[in-house]
Amino acid sequence: MKSINPATGVMIEEYSEHTPEEVSRIIDQVHDTWLLWKETSFDERAAMMKNAANILRSRKEEYARLMTLEMGKLFRESVSEIEKCAWVCEYYADHAAHILQDEMVVTDAAKSFIAFQPLGVVLAVMPWNFPFWQVFRFAAPALMAGNGAVLKHASNVPGCALAIEKIFQLAGFPEYIFRTLMIPSRDVEAVVSHPRIAAVTLTGSEQAGSQVAAAAGRCIKKTVLELGGSDAFIVLDDADLVAAVKTAVTARMLNQGQSCIAAKRFIVVNSVAREFEQALKSEMERLLAGDPMDASIQVAPLARPDLVDDIERQVNESVQSGARLVLGGKRISRPGFYFEPTILADVKKGMAVLSQETFGPVAVIITVADEQEAIDTANDSEYGLGGCVWTRNPERGERIARKVSTGAMFVNGMTKSDPRIPFGGIKKSGYGLELGSYGIKEFVNCKTIWIS
């Protein structure tokens, strides 16, 4: 496995892969450790989880630099990601015991209740775009619920994967309760079928999710899938355009647009479409590309060269199909994997930037006649992860939010994940939930106990 700096294209380090025999041995060790771990108290687990949060905060610049070097995101965004990881650790350390306490139910029994018990060893197949956050938002609730965990991280962030494993060890967790498997994607199916693996969670592409779910289904194993998105950013005729445009730039450009919940379809009512387009262009054309470690830079590289190829192809195909290029549209001529901040307008159904997920700095503007067409357009997608709507009338925003078919809708705010509320999608964006009280219950057995 090779770690390559996206800002330069230069290899940072090369890592050895685990053999199938080593993988099997690690899984067995995690399972054996779990048999003891599941008997530990919530207080014991919480103390270790808070240690992990303290380690993350005390060494956040070190971990942020590693993240930026391996996948290219802006250093300040990497620092924020580490801080969010510490937050999710603290949240579950503080709330897991309450969320998973026995739930008493009145029946014809003398006593009946629901006990929430860990499933066992959970395999996490995680992506590169948020190398620390994606792992911690799974690991914090899974470990606090009493499960064991093995991580198959993306092959381009092996340094992050090993650093996370080390954080849990430094925090006092048993050495084999959380382990990283250094394996390529082709070996995942064999891990899923390992008899010691109880369940699987995956964040990634629709194709990867389908393959892992099929493998887990053959073994009758629980899965949670968080897949792609084509989030709608609805701007109504009564929106605060200054606030909407400012948020739109962040919602599209955060992590260079390499996010499942990035705003990808800007659905704007005709009466304000021209003003929104010009304001968005004015903001995005000011963004500077360069070294992601530089605090003055707003445009970082994409994580891999093939991602630049994909974005370039999607933009070119859409322009050829009639989309109007408002800004950008091509690679940035410098070392590394850079693409210009791009705006496409007059985008219609069937164009590549709508029919496929755009994982890069490309904003797509779709104009609509009114509120109802905005709702219909937002729902006209195979994906259903998140979205937002902008209006000066909160009641109107809530009404529309209820009508858009997604796992989350934000009114006058950017779609984001938060440890306190569930996160997940519908349709081809996946199934199951992460975070909040619902997320920690995905990998527990909700056991009914009835006593006469």
303-308's contacts with Cβ under 8 Å and 24+ in sequence apart are 303/6, 303/71, 303/72, 303/128, 303/129, 303/156, 303/258, 303/337, 304/4, 304/6, 304/156, 304/337, 305/9, 305/337, 307/258, 307/337, 307/359, 307/360, 308/337, 308/338, 308/339, 308/360
Collect all residues with Cβ–Cβ distance below 8 Å to 237 and sequence separation of at least 6. 269, 271, 272
260 is catalytic: yes
Contact 416, 77 (CB under 8 A): no
The catalytically annotated residue of 85, 160, 260, 388 is 260
Residue 230 is encoded by which pair of tokens?
A: 């084509």
Query: Phi, psi at residue 206, to the nearest 5°?
Result: -60, -40
Q: Using CA atoms in the order 348, 299, 65, 180, what is the torsion angle rounded to 10 degrees?
A: 10
Collect all residues with Cβ–Cβ distance below 8 Å to 279 and sequence separation of at least 6. 241, 242, 245
Q: Exposed/middle/buried for 8, CB within 10 Å: 0-12, 13-18, 19+?
A: middle
Structure letter (DSSP) for residue 417:
-
Residue 188 is encoded by which pair of tokens?
A: 């995942």
The catalytically annotated residue of 226, 357, 371, 442 is 226
Q: Exposed/middle/buried for 416, CB within 10 Å: 0-12, 13-18, 19+?
A: middle
The CA distance from 222 to 111, in Å, is 29
SS3 category, 331: strand
226 is catalytic: yes
Active site residues: 226, 260
